[in-house]
Amino acid sequence: MNNKRIIIAIDGHSSCGKSTFAKAIAARLGYIFIDTGAMYRAVTLYALEHGAILSGIVDEERVVGMLGEINIDFRFNPERGASDIYVNGDLVEGRIRTIEVSNCVSAVSSIAEVRSKLVAMQQEMGLRRGIVMDGRDIGTVVFPDAELKIYMTADPMVRAERRYKELTAKGDNVTLEEIYENVVSRDKADMSRAISPLRKADDAIVLDNSQMSVEEQMTWFMERYEEAVAK
Ligand code: DC
How much is the pLDDT for 128? 86
Q: Is the shortest distance between the CB of 41 and ligand 1 below 6 Å?
A: yes
Per-residue model confidence as pLDDT tens digits over 190-204: 899 899 999 999 999
pLDDT digits (tens, 9 = 90+) for 152-161: 999 999 999 9
Task: Compute, in degrees rounded to 10, the torsion defined by CA atoms 70, 76, 82, 86.
Answer: -20
Q: At residue 217, what is the residue type?
A: Q
Q: Where are the domains of the chain?
A: 7-230
Residue 2 Cα to ligand 1 midpoint, Å, equals 32
Ligand 1 in contact with 105 (CB < 6 A)? yes
Q: What CATH number has the domain spanning 7-230?
A: 3.40.50.300
Phi, psi of 155 (to 5 degrees): -55, 135
Is the CB of residue 117 below 6 angstroms from any atom belonging to ligand 1? no
Is pLDDT at 21 greater than 60 in this prediction?
A: yes
pTM for the complete prediction? 0.92
**Pocket flag, ligand 1, residue 102 (CB < 6 Å):** no
- What's residue 3's pLDDT? 76
Atom of ligand 1 nearest to the CA of 15: 3
Choosing from 105, 114, 122, 196 the residue with most ligand 1 atoms within 8 A of its CB, the one to mutate for a pocket test is 105
The pLDDT of residue 89 is above 90 = yes
Q: Is 135 in the pocket of ligand 1 (CB under 6 A)?
A: yes
Section 33-54 average pLDDT: 97
